[in-house]
Structures are given as structure tokens and as C-alpha cells.
Structure 1
Amino acid sequence: MTTHDQPPVAEPPTPPDGETPTTPAADSAATPRRAGATALAVIVTCQLMVAVDGNIVNIALPRIQSGLGFSPDGLAWVFSAYSLAFGGLLLLGGRASDVLGRRRMFTWGLLLVVAASLLGGLAPNSALLIAARAAQGVGFAFAAPAALSLIAVTFREGPERSRALGVFSTVAGLGITIGLILGGLLTTFSWRLVFFVNVPIGLAAVFLAARHLGETEKHPARPDVIGALTSTAGMTAVVYGLINASSAGWSSTTTGLALVLGLVLLGAFAVTQAKVREPLISLRLLAQRARSGAYAVFLLLFAAMGGTYFLLSLYVQDGLGLAPLTAGLAFLPMALAQFATARSAAKLIPRYGARTLIVTGAALMLADSLWLAATGPHSGYLTGLLGPLVLLGAGLGLGFVPLNMTILAGLAPKETGAASGLLQALQQIGLSLGVAVLATLYGGSLHGARNPDRAQLADGLSTAVVAAAAFSGVAVLIGLLVITRPKATA
């Protein structure tokens, strides 16, 4: 990277558990503060697009169904095609950024997203729209890990990286709410706009990346073909099994076969990674106790968040009768709470340590679930949902910044892409797992009612969020018992 694109490299802090430090590092020397701010804005634009895209299309699904004549089963593939491609290729995408260059994968991935979004907006039939959604998932699977690893090599470890990750996490949280609001707004004009909106934003990010992001050092390696195939097939099978479980149930033969096949393939992938010279994912990433614990907490908190968010998106419309745009605005307090706490987390980590904030964030999410478990037929938005939404946002903001830092701490440059890809793959599995588990409990509590009333919907919500409480509770325990160095990232 040129001297105009990178901050000075600092000595790495002691890694979690006091292990021998590696050189984290940026690939070269200093950058002016203004260039660093511009580079960060370009990087987080990709994360904003990922977060928005996961929700903006969902709001438009009814209009898409009527516009292109989707069957109910076919409409589900608008979501599933994207999730399968994105989740299935994240491990490969993360490693590709290490081997081929992070800026290259960042720009190539975004260009594919732009082309796929243009195709989706112009799609004359359902087949092309599903193909476009799959291509969007492929593009983001290569761009998103590159974006997170660019933060690791552009901003030196310590307060500077803390601030950058705080912005990154804040944008991710805001993007969820922005997706709901923007989806509701654009759909009032045309569902095609929810695809077209990616085109100017993606092109602008690619243009600015060429000007403000230098290419990072490449780390050529012999292609691990077997690892790439088994990891992609295994991740795809697991994500598909979880998606199918949310609609067909856990007793479905398809669900069981997909999950078993996925776990077998991922097990085979882990075995091959221990033997090949240039692994797709080095098992050394999981050797440090604090990092492996942080990965586990990340998966569990995303399961709690994804399932809760999914149910609340339904409940505010079906139970409280809010219109799509108003429903999106209802989540704004959560986004604002996450914005405030993510900004504060960067300043609190040096004082209290990463573990303290991780445990506090998970505990706030546990409190959010327990509060929602008390939802009744007379619970309104102000009395029943506003408080839990604020707790959920605060927990996400406090927890995710130190989790990202713990995972990225002390890594060699050639490992940051793989570490980022694994993190985001677990994020996708967590989201799918949370939705599958909570949706199953929610549907089971309704006892097949076609038009459940508000009391039944409230009972379903209060029953299902017990699973989210379990996810967050286990995350608290892992934070206390596994992430043992309180100030791992001081």
C-alpha cells in the first residue's frame, strides 16, 4: 500500500491469553487523517449495502409477487437464493482477499453486486430475478470479508482500530433499519427501485476505492481446491437446512438431510485444513482461547438478534397493525441505541477491557429477550416493545465492537481475510439458526391458526423469544469463562 493510504504501523498488543504476538499489521506506512476518514467511509459503504440489502427486498416481496406472478413457494427463493450464495461462499471469499488482494476483491465483488442489481431491477420474469439475487449474494460474499479485513490492515491496532470498528458496527446496525424504511418508501413507487438503488451507491464506492484505497500485499498460495469445494458445499447445505427448517420444520426429511450433509462436509473440511500446506482457513485462528470464544459468542448473539428481529418485524405489522413504512420507523430507537453505544465502546474498551463489554452487551440482549417474554395482548409499542428494542440496540453496539477487535487482534496480514470470512460465515449461520428456531416456536404456539388474533400473536412472541434468551445466556457464560483476558485489546 502506498504511503498515502495507510496510518503508521504500531507494535501489536499482547494477544489474548498472553500468546506469542504476530505482526497484525498494515502493509505499509502512514496516511493523513483525512485520507483515513475517506477510506473508512468507502469501506463501511459496502457494509451498509449488505445490511440494507438484507431487508430492503423483504419489504418489497408482496409487490414482487404480484408484479412477476411468483407462486408462494417460488417467492421464498428471492430470499433463499441470496442467503445460500452469500453464506456458502463467505469462507472462500475471505481467503480470496488474502491471496488476490483486498481492494481487488472489494471492487470486483461490488461490481458484481451492481450488475446483479441492475439485472434484478430489469428482470422480466421470476427466473431472472432469482438468478439476480443469487449473483448479489456471490458479489457480497467476496466484497464483505474484504471490507472488514481492509479495516484490519488500514487502521492500527488499538484506539484507532476501535474507532473504525465502532463506525463499522454502527453502520451495520443502522443499515437494518434503513433497509426497512427505504424499502417501504421505494416500494410505494415501484419494487424495482429496491434493486436499482444499489447501482449508483456501488459504482460510487468502486470509484472512490480506486482513489482512496491502496491495494494490499498479495499472499500467493496454491489453490486449496478440495477445501474450497467442501467448505462451499457444507456452508450451503447448512444454510439451506436452516432456511428449510423455518418453513417446513425440524422434522422435515429435507431439513435433516441438508443439515447432516452440511455438518459432514464441514467436518471433512476441518480435517483437510489440518493437512494441506496452504489451508483455506488456518486452524491456528481458533487456537487462541479468546478468539475462539469470541467466534462462538458472535454466532450466538446473531442467532438471538436475527430471530428476535424477524419476529418483531412480523409482530409490529400483524399484531400492532403498523404499515410497512411505519414498522420500519418503529425500529429506529434500536438503531439509535446501537449508534450511541458503538461510538462509546471504542472509548470504554481501554478502560474496562473487551471481555467486560462483551459480557455486558450479551447481558443487555438477555434482558431484552426476558422483557419480550412478558408480552401480552394488551402490550403496546410504548409499553411492550420500545424498551426491549433499546436494550437490543445497546447490547449489539456494546458487544460487537469488542468482539470484532478480539477476533482481529494479533493477526498476520495474510490471515485477516480468512478471519473476516469465518466471522461473517458464522454471522450468516447465526442469523439463519435464530430465524429457524424462533420461527418454529412461534408457528407452533399459533397451533396452525390461519388468522391469529393479537392475543395469539403476543403469546407466540413471548414463547419464541425464550430461545433468544437461551442464546444470549450461553453467550454471557462463554464471555465470562472462555474470554479470560479482560483487557485483551487495550
Structure 2
Amino acid sequence: MSASQHVAPIGYPVTTRAFGPAIVALGGMQLMAVLDGTVINLALAPLQAELNLSDAGRNWVVSSYVLAFGGLMLLGGRMGDSFGRKRMFLTGVALFTLASAVCGLAQNEAMLVGARIVQGAGAAVASPTAFALVATTFAPGPVRNQAIAIYAAMTGVGSFSGLIIGGALTEVSWRWIFLINVPIGLAILVVGARALVETAAERTALDVPGAVLATLGSTAVVFGIVEGPERGWTDAVTVASVLIGLALLGAFLVVERRASNPLLPFELFRDRDRVATFAAIFFSGGALFAMTVIVAVFVQDVLGYSPLHAGISFIPFGGGMALAAVTSSWLAPRVAPRWIVFTGAVLTVGYLIFASRIDVDASYWSDLFLPIGGIGFGVGLAVIALPLCAIAQVRAENIGPLTAISLVAQNLGGPLGLAVVSAMAAAKTMSLGGVTGSAVSMTEEQVRVLGEGYTFGLLGCAGLAAVAAVSALFIRYSAADVASAKAAQEAARG
């Protein structure tokens, strides 16, 4: 029996020290997946200019990955349970690596967006199975705690370093933000094949129809909203896309009620506090995702920043989120979570409104530094407390599914939020007589009007954050509930 087919015996392969080949493979994939969702923002402006993309095409380069990742994540986790986690982890990494190579060599929009979809699908299989492998690879106690800490740190490192790495690689060529994944992915495949041990397959029923309907429905709605400003809101394709998307999402709900092993168990949504939590996660995720794209293209297209300069300009955002993590940890056992989330969302709204007044003559230190850091702090307060609200007052066996659903809500909120905000920005630009697309060949007046569209889009981000703030007011969990949820989460992991 080959190493890749070996099934884990009773016990854990790693019992003494977390750092080693296994965590390098698992953490490496997590780092790569998070980096890929971040670095693309800084490559959008040069990528759009080189491939001559429309604004809608530019948005699809971002949204196609996130839609596939978020829409297929729950199915990806179930596939690991059904076919073996090591096997599916390596399959996901291989898909992600191959698609990265195609992205880096893409010659047109269709080739790039198609490869991004495959990238997202690969990440949707590899990421949840990687986390599940942490639980079956490392023995409970200090070793597993160390492994979880390393794995979780990759998310933070990837989110923050992606801004700098993405900017630096894009200075050479936007293609390198994808091509750099190829040697890393190949190394993960080699290390993972040797260091990881296969888990027993459970052969549970897979809700493939549910995953397909959710992904296609979300994609169709996003397509209609993204294409609306260019095609026209009464255009047959625009209207049909939105209506078909809504019909597919309705069919998804019907399928989930009848599925033997649904991706979205309805019994988990009978608590209205949990529904409010998911609404807050969805809209705060949309505000964050759309804001990062809008600001990244604004500083490059309108202010003329280089990709590296743009990446460095986001450093206060990471600092704000780090400060929010410390603050939220201190407040969590003392203050009801709705007030933490509400305060963070309101701060985000305020700083977004402040940022919406900037124009082509903006200065970084007087106009951008404070709102970028402030938005990071506000968003951090909101998104750090919400995942614990999602698992408050639930049985231990439901912690995993609810955590996964939280990630899906955040991932799907991103492209939908970006679609709405981008539509607002494009409509504003065109109403002022401007044009959309790459700013490289625009006149000074067209760039100025483009900037007004982008800043109007920031008001759309503020609207999404405001909905998250209102949703937070309906979360009635206490500080004690959140503390218990955190303890239960740690117990489930350990």
C-alpha cells in the first residue's frame, strides 16, 4: 500500500512537536489561498490595462475566485470526509497550482477568469480539508494547540503580507502574482504526500446539487449587477441573469430542505440571533471586500501610485485590525457582542464617509492615512467578534458546520458587495460624462471623474457597513455566551 493510500491508525502521527513537514504543507496551502485573495487587488490596474479589460471584466477577475471558493467550500469539506482528507487536500492543491500557472499565462479575459474559477474550486477543496487534517494529524493538547496557532497565523500573515508581496511582484509583472504559486504548490504537494497520513473515508452523501445551485445562483446575480451599468439595467441579459440567479437560489433552498446531508442544515437557523449574526457577517464581508478593491484601484488609477506604493499605503489597515483584535479580546468577556460589532460597524461607516470626500488632489497623510487605519480598526472589531456569535449556544457537533457557514457567508458577501458598489461607481462616472476602463489612456478630466465614481462607491461600502451595524443590534447573545462559545471552540479543536 502506497504512502498516499495509507490510512491513519488509531492515534496521531504527530505527538511531540507541531513544527515540521506536516504543518508546513497545511499552513503553506492556507497562506497561499489567503495571499491569492489579497495580492490580486494591487494587480488590478496594470492587469486591466494590459488585457484591455472593462470594469466588469476587472471585477470578474476578483469575484470569480471568491464565488467559486465560497460557493464550493462546504462541499469541499464534505468531499474530504467522503474520499479521504489527504487525497482531497492534494487534489485541491494540484488544481490550485495548475490554475495559477494558467492565470499567469492568460492572454485574455476569458482565459484568466476561467482559470480563476478553477483556482477557487481548488482552494475550496484544499482549505477546509487542511484544517480538518490539523485535527487528525496532531495529538490533542499542546501539540495541536501549537499547530492551530501556526495554521491560524498564516491567515493573518497572508492578509497583511499579501499587500506588500503583491505590490512588489506586480512591479515586475502582474503575472508573477500567479506564477509564484507554481513552485510553492509543487513543494506543498511533495511535502504533503510524504508527511500527511490518510484518514478513513466515511462515504457520506454529498449535496452536489446544493453546491452547484448556490454557486451558479450567486454567480448569475453578481453577473447581472456587474454588467448592469454597461449593458443597461433594462437590458434583457441583465434582467434575465438576475432573475435566473434568484430562481437558482430559490431552488437551492428547496433542495436543502430535502437533502439527506444538506450543506445548509435549516435547524441551525431557527435562532434569530444566529440569523442576525450571519446577516452582519455577510454585509461586513461585502463592505470590506469592496472597499479594498475600490481603494486599491483609486490610489493607482487616480493618484498614480505604483503597485508597491499602493501596497505600502495599506499598512495602517493591518495595524488597525491588529489593534482591534487586542481590543475585542479585552472587551469580549465584559461587553455584549452586539455593542462591539455595532461600534466597529459605525466606526467603519464614519471613516468611509470621510474617505468619500477625497479627490485627485488628495494627500496620503492628510486624506488617506487616518481613514485606512480607522476602517481597519472598525472592521476588525466587527469581524473578530462575529464568528464567536455564530457558534454561541450550540452543541459541540455543530461548531464545525457553523464555523464553515460563517466563512461562506463572508466569502459570498464579498463579490455581491463588490458588484453593487462597482455598479454605483460606474453609474456615477458615466452620469458625469466620464468613461470606465483603464485610466492609462484617459484625459485629466476623465481621471478626475473616474475618481468621483470611485469615491461615490465608498458611500456604497458605507451603506453595506450600516446594514451590518443594524443587523448587530438584533444579536442578543451575552458576553458570557461568547465566552462559553470560545471555550467550546477551543475544546472542539483540542
Q: Give 2:433's aligned residue.
A: 448
Report the TM-score, using the length of structure 1 for normalisation: 0.78
Against the structure 1 CA distance between its residues 324 and 235, is the aligned structure 2 distance closer, same or farther, given a 3 Å change threshold? same
Please state how far the C-alpha of 1:75 moved relative to its aligned partner.
5.9
253 and 372 in structure 1: CA distance in 2 versus 1, 3 angstrom threshold: farther
Q: 1:304 to 1:51 in 2, by over 3 A?
A: same
- Partners of 2:13 and 2:384 lie apart in 1 by 23
**Please, which of 188, 205, 210 is the counterpart of residue 222 of structure 1?**
205
Deviations 1:33-56 (A, max 9, x none): x42899777555434323322343
Superposition map of 1:136-175 within 5 A: 136-147=119-130, 172=155, 175=158
Equivalent residue, structure 2, for 1:391: 374
- Whether the aligned pair in 2 keeps the contact of 1:290 and 1:485 (CA below 8 Å) is no
After TM superposition, the structure 1 stretch with the greater mean CA deviation from structure 2, 237-246 or 407-416, is 407-416
> Which of 67, 89, 92 pairs up with 1:109?
92
Partner in structure 1 of residue 456 of structure 2: 463
CA–CA separation in structure 2 for the residues paired with 1:400 and 1:41:
27
Give 1:356-371 correspondences, 5 Å limit.
Answer: 356-371=339-354
Q: Deviations over 1:126-161 (max 9, x none)?
A: 76555433321210122234456667889999xx99
Note the C-alpha offset of 1:111.
2.1
SS at match of 1:489: helix
- What is the rounded CA distance, in whole Å, between the counterparts of 1:175 and 1:322 in structure 2? 22
Match of 2:417 in 1: 434
> Is residue 310 from structure 1 mapped to residue 289 from structure 2 by the alignment?
no
* Structure 1 pair 123–377 and aligned structure 2 pair: CA distance change class (3 A): closer
Alignment partner for residue 473 of structure 1, among 463, 466, 469?
A: 466
Q: 1:474 to 1:152 in 2, by over 3 A?
A: farther
Give me the whole-angstrom Cα distance separating, in 2, the residues matched to 1:52 and 1:83: 13
Contact 1:170 1:342 in 2 (8 A): no
CA contact under 8 A between 2:334 and 2:479: conserved in structure 1?
Answer: no
Q: SS state of the match for residue 481, structure 2?
A: coil
Amino acid in structure 2 at the alignment position of 1:181? I
Query: Deviation string for 1:229-273 (max 9, x for gaps)?
Result: 433432332343344347546444323322221222222221222
Measured in 1, the distance between the counterparts of 2:377 and 2:189 equals 32
**Equivalent residue for 2:364, pick from 372, 376, 381:** 381
Looking at structure 1, the residues matched to 161 and 34 of structure 2 have their Cα atoms a distance apart, in angstroms, of 9
1:193 aligns with 2:186: no
Cα distance change of structure 1 residues 170 and 132 upon mapping to structure 2, 3 Å threshold: same
Code of the residue aligned with 2:433 in structure 1: it is G
Alpha-carbon distance in 1 for matches of 2:354, 2:404: 34
CA contact (8 A) 2:359 2:448 kept: yes
Q: What 5-or-longer segments of structure 2 have no aligned partner?
A: 1-7, 436-442, 484-494
Aligned partner of 2:305 in structure 1 is 322
Q: Hey, what's the Cα distance between the residues in 2 that align with 1:141 and 1:242?
A: 24
* 1:178 and 2:171 correspond: no
Quote the Cα distance in structure 2 between the aligned partners of 1:444 and 1:171. 38
Asked whether the equivalents of residues 99 and 221 of structure 1 are also in contact (C-alpha less than 8 Å), the reply is yes
Give the AA of the match of 2:323: A
Matched-pair contact (CA < 8 Å) for 1:249–1:255: yes
- Candidates 384, 392, 395, aligned match of 1:401: 384
Instruction: Give % identity.
Output: 34
1:296 corresponds in structure 2 to: 279
Q: TM-score, normalised by structure 2?
A: 0.77
Q: Distance in 2 between matches of 1:166 and 1:400?
A: 19
Alpha-carbon distance between aligned partners in 2 of 1:360 and 1:155, rounded to the nearest angstrom: 38
Aligned counterparts of 2:337 and 2:139: Cα–Cα separation in 1: 17
2:474 aligned partner, one-letter code: L
Tell me by how many angstroms 1:200 deviates. 3.2
- After TM superposition, the structure 1 = structure 2 runs for residues 65-76 of structure 1, keeping only pairs within 5 Å, are 76=58
